[in-house]
Chains A and B, each alone.
Chain A
């Protein structure tokens, strides 16, 4: 080892080391002094205000991400007074003026979150630190939403969650700076279970396939609790990795498991693949325990139903919203979105659009972009006209409480978009729950953390 011992090293090492340490210690003072003379993160000083759109443009939920992006572009147009105004006149009560937010024109920056929590966080950080985003929104995975929500709390930037259905987002992992308009897995379970009991009876044996992350876990738990309360039994719950392309290895064991219902806790392309493959396996033509074998997809959207095509016919699930609702808000939004993009909006697009409007409205009501004031304006806000009926932004957990739709795959679609039928609209009183049920702690709004 000590073949070539070389000269007295200590002094040189100390000298160089010390120089390095001093340079490291002094440099921050030089570069950062006086750089941040604002009282909260990204206080907009010019005549524009920037939204940060964090969207999965690649990965298992890419299709939802693309639809969300369209919705945000539409929302920004409408907020700036361009286009037909969309839902702007529908929001009641509303402080929106159609001239931007507090007179500032709305701009946006985007980032591809790749349906991965790590990447989503890096993207959100970039939009906050480099592009000066005042608010971050979007995402269509709960893992992303929870990761970004935590980051936004650290940075002092409001996060308006896009499509996230896990109970944890406004439960165990809720944050003061995070808000969710979308419904959650618990509400899906409570809404869906009575319909399942009515259609399939109360002595079923269920087999779950579950996407292996926070959303899948909580949905599996919620559906299990709701169906077991009806008298159903749970045979087994198997976790599948997010983004798996081939589910056959998980589907084969179901046939001999003694189950007569398959519950797919999947979303996006995962759901399209698992549902299509399950139907190709002939599951829906089978008999088990003397009953017809059934498949249930607790959370489903028109994008996925479209992707699954024939396979989705007759299958039950729940949705946050559907473009075929008959209220004025839904019709206005569907018309506006359809006129621009030539297709009806998905529930992901709807929740994204509404979140952008709600944030803008809260800022107008607060009269400032100061996050704690905006948070106070959103907490406990009761509104109507957004297509979901009367809705409450609960102050205790930042969860919107509104009606939940039970939907069924359309047996005889009249167009390529007419793939889901609304079976029932569950009133919001029935799906409300105690905010303390899932634990968690919002944390404080003040002092406002200061992003770098």
Chain B
């Protein structure tokens, strides 16, 4: 989807902070697809993803005052909101399904395994699939499922130091793929 830029980023941010409907509509039209993809990547459920996307755009609207340009680009800020909201939803969904934490872990880890569904074929997750297995797993568990390196070390039974080293390689390779 090629985006025809109408505003520069500082202009867009300023207009959003001034509560401009046009700017907000522009923001939605240009970024909802990218954010929706990452939401689907995480929650793996289109119905749920619709609710999360709505929640994310309401949050962006309500919290635009707190966006600080010096800490990163607008899209980075929005992507983090979308990822965090998705992981929260994933966790509460699992909780509502009355699944124990351990079961959740195993279940989701297997979901991150080889036989993945359509979720793998869209968005950033598609890119991550180009990584070697040992690196891909780390990005899957940390980025798309929100586990800490400590937790991952225990889940895949690999020493924390090794997890850190592999994670670093995984991130550098990811950068090389997308740039």
Q: Do A and B bind each other?
A: no
Binding site for B on A (CB under 8 A): none
Binding site for A on B (CB under 8 A): none
